[in-house]
Amino acid sequence: MTVSVSVADAVRSCLEWARNARPPRTADPRFLSRMLTAHGAVRADPGDWDRDDVTRVTLTLSAEGSVPEDFRETWLTWCDYLVDRGLLGPAESPRVLRAAVAAAEVFPRDQAPWSPEHRESPWWGQLWEPEDLPRVHLAPAERSAPAARACPVLGRALRLAAWVGDGLPLDGDAEHETLTEHTRDEAAAHLGLAPEELPYLFETALRAGFLRTTYTEVRPGPAVGGWDDVRVVRSWAEALPTMVSRHGTLGLRVLGELFTSGGVWTVADLVEVLAPRPHPKGRDEKGGGEKGRDAGKSGPEEEVSAAVRTLVGLGAVETLPGAGLRITPLGDQGMAHRWRRWGIALPGYPSTTQMSARELLFQLWEGRPVDAQVIGRQWMTERGVRPAARELLEVCAELGSWRQRVDVFRLFHGLEQELGPVFAAYRDHPVLGGWIAHARHDPGRVRLEQLVVVLLDTYALRVELGTPLPVDTPVWRDPEAVTRLMWRSGHPAADGVLTAIALGAVGPDAARAARRARFSTVGAGP
């Protein structure tokens, strides 16, 4: 068995702690190495454990064959070592983890659910094929840190950690770590909160790393001392599942859809995809959460709306005009952290310094829409905005490059003033002229056939996505002329666009004109 450096170091440190403990503790180095190697198949940090990891490692050890009779004692020694040294990650309660280890049962090898050679089991974290992983641009921590610091729940959790100070006793009779009733009342009074809010806030502080617990007391956590940009973003990401737990799994499912797609969604879109299921009682019913105005509502739209409001309040999602919703850089950090905990490395984008204009547009088309503006602007800045704009316009100047044109002019949004001289050179271009006029908000001497190219480009994308076609009233004043120009344009998407228009996508007048242009000779009746 090959043992990694991190596992070997962890084993040595645990054995030293076990020898010095009073009384000395049992620790079998061979079993400890096997157990941590199995754990490391998913978790990079030997101290990052939760109760599911105990089940995963137990089944893996069962598949590998026999274990020593006293394996559980060694495993409990490891658990106690992590708790005593403050090395246990924030994902799990020490009491719950120790109880899971104490109850662990290794099956005989012939009863194991898979063989050690069968690495396709979801226990190994292979939940996605590499080609299915979203390509993600993660903004630097300093860009996300202000939103994390502004998160009200995280701020209250930090205040609670400051109030706890050097340490307090835990309720010895509770299954999970919790403050004593007297301490909860004192903390609530000090923070100006209702006592029933304290368990939710206490768990948030634990998961964020502001506090940590032993089996008997709560102490300051590793994150409470320094709150630099990287640490505050990580604390927010680690506390995210707790902060959205009042919605069951729905909060993370909503954020997961926004993360993997990187697009703009509405509540109705999310309801259609997620179809919320009933979830177990959340912290509101147990007295630990923030009782919201949505209590008692059970419709899918209300459930998704409530989860979205929570995510917006936490800084994970932003609202856009027209009821649009999009993940924020901080939300990206939270979801990427969850994937990393499962040992899944998300692919990024190639370096922009080596990309040609055509390669850039390919990356924008293949990648998430939320990344396009950041990656594209970075590429343009490296080359100079105006020279870069000229390169991009040349790439999308052919009539068939309609997808690239849509991406290019999205990228130009907000740069119209700076790109004025570049735009002026393309004003009479038969393919780009309409886009230039639209970007400058100045039709000038633009010709109808140039505007028709813009219509065909934008309508083609909407037809492809199955979204409604907007009616540009000034252009559609003469539907006969517009549809004739569409049919004669040679645009590769003209056939599909005219079919959609003929079916009534932009109104009855345009539909009649499209049928004449598409299906009959010019001038024939409807």
Which residues does residue 179 pair with via DSSP β-bridges, in sequence order?
170
**Distance of alpha carbon 164 from alpha carbon 221, whole angstroms:** 11
Q: How far apart (Å, rounded) are the C-alpha atoms in residues 489 and 414?
A: 30
Residue 325 · residue 264 · CB < 8 Å:
yes
CA neighbours within 13 Å on the CB side: how many for 243? 29
C-beta separation of 83 from 214 below 8 A: yes
Q: Are 197 and 290 in contact (CB under 8 A)?
A: yes
Angle (nearest 5°) at CA 422 between 417 and 424? 90
pLDDT tens track, the chain, 526 positions: 556 668 999 999 999 999 999 999 989 999 999 999 999 887 888 999 989 899 889 988 888 878 888 899 999 999 999 999 999 988 889 999 999 999 998 877 666 555 444 444 434 344 445 556 788 999 999 999 999 999 999 999 999 999 999 999 999 887 778 899 999 999 999 999 998 899 999 999 999 999 999 999 999 998 887 779 999 999 999 999 999 999 999 999 999 999 999 999 999 999 999 876 554 444 444 444 444 444 445 688 999 999 999 999 999 999 998 889 999 999 999 999 998 887 788 888 999 998 999 999 999 888 899 999 899 999 999 999 999 999 999 999 999 999 999 999 999 998 989 999 999 999 999 999 999 998 887 767 789 999 999 999 999 999 998 888 887 778 888 999 999 999 999 999 999 999 999 999 989 999 999 999 877 644 444 4
Cis previous bond, 23, omega within 30: yes
Distance CA 186, CA 190 (A): 6
Backbone phi and psi for residue 349, each to the nearest 5 degrees, phi listed first? -105, 150
The label of the residue with tokens 């680690």 reads 238
| Calpha distance 194→109 (Å, rounded) | 52
Interatomic CA distance for residues 418 and 107, integer angstroms:
69
Q: At what angle do helices 433-440 and 402-412 cross, to 10 degrees?
A: 20
Tokens 């089940």 — which residue?
Answer: 55
What crossing angle do the helices spanning 479-488 and 508-519 adopt, rounded to 10°?
Answer: 40
